[in-house]
Amino acid sequence: MLAGEAAARGVLAKPSHLELLVPPGRSVAARLTLSGTTAERTRVRIHVEDFDLDIEGRPIRGAATASRPTSAGAFLVDPEELVLEGGEAQTVFVDVQAPEGSLPSRWALLVLDVEEEENGGAAPLAATRLLVPVVANVDGSPAPDLKILSFETARSGASGCVAHLVVENGGDVAVRPRLALGLAPASRRESDELALTERGSFLLLPGHRRILQGPVDCGAATSNVEVVGTIELDTTRLLGTAALPAAVRGAP
């Protein structure tokens, strides 16, 4: 899966993250396009680091631990340094290795150190850093094991609710499911055509939990409102409901 773009002063990276499926015992090469965004000469140096995600989905940089073995060495970058003349675009190749018997999922962070230079090659005008996550799953790995651990709702304003969920990936592969929130059919008025509101996709690494939250239009109803949360991943669909005041009504 390829998605979006990421920008730092002087350079645009597309896509903003790389998610790949690698056949066992093989390697796969992905492309990252870097484009200069100013008239200045821009130098980019790239290296690979281990990273993790906290329960709110924020990246944590740093060395691997016993519970999170290193996988940065499975990712090779070519070239590791390049220069973009004003407005120029170049391609960086990211090669992912998956030897036989390797872990079903591996992930690393491409760290791009970006420096804008004067055309004469003098000292940098500005220096910034851009981070591009790369996640690779081995083809044929066990199916994901997703769970909704808790699901609560709370009133927010005159007609709004906020849903809070904790989702766990108990499997061995990284996944990118989608979250949708809305009212249970029994809570809707006959004229209310409100459908589940999609809140977008999120990355969930193996053995990780993620806190999710999002708004739902609950109208003027009180405690008889039930909110539905749907976690979708390809053909897998998790469904949970919660009522006001905050109370878990069920988890798959």
164: domain CATH number is: 2.60.40.10
Answer yes or no: do 163 and 118 share one domain: no
How does 88-114 read in b/e, with b if 16+ C-beta sit within 10 Å? eeeebebebbbeeebbbbbbbbbbbeb
3-state helix, strand, coil split of the chain in percent (to 5) is 0, 60, 35
Answer yes or no: do 34 and 150 share one domain: no
Of 91, 106, 138, at which residue does a domain stop?
A: 138
Answer yes or no: do 27 and 103 share one domain: yes
Answer yes or no: do 28 and 76 share one domain: yes
Q: Work out the number of other CB atoms within 10 angstroms of the CB of residue 44.
A: 23
Of 91, 110, 138, at which residue does a domain stop?
A: 138
The whole domain housing 101 covers 2-138
Answer yes or no: do 103 and 161 share one domain: no
* 163 Cβ contact list (under 8 Å, min separation 6): 151, 152, 153, 181, 213, 214, 215, 216, 227, 229, 242
Answer yes or no: do 29 and 133 share one domain: yes
Q: Kindly report, residue by residue over 122-143, the tens digit of the pLDDT.
A: 555 667 888 898 999 988 888 8
Answer yes or no: do 162 and 132 share one domain: no
Of 71, 105, 138, at which residue does a domain stop?
A: 138
CA distance 230 to 202: 13
Residues 153-161 have a mean pLDDT of 74
Answer yes or no: do 125 and 8 share one domain: yes
Q: Kindly report, residue by residue over 91-119, the tens digit of the pLDDT.
A: 999 999 888 777 888 888 899 999 887 65
CA distance 226 to 160: 13
Main-chain phi, psi angles of 169, to 5 degrees:
-105, 100
For the entire predicted model, the pTM comes to 0.75
- Rounded to the nearest integer, the mean pLDDT of the chain is 77
Answer yes or no: do 215 and 196 share one domain: yes
Q: What is the dihedral of CA 95, 88, 131, 81, to 10 degrees?
A: 60
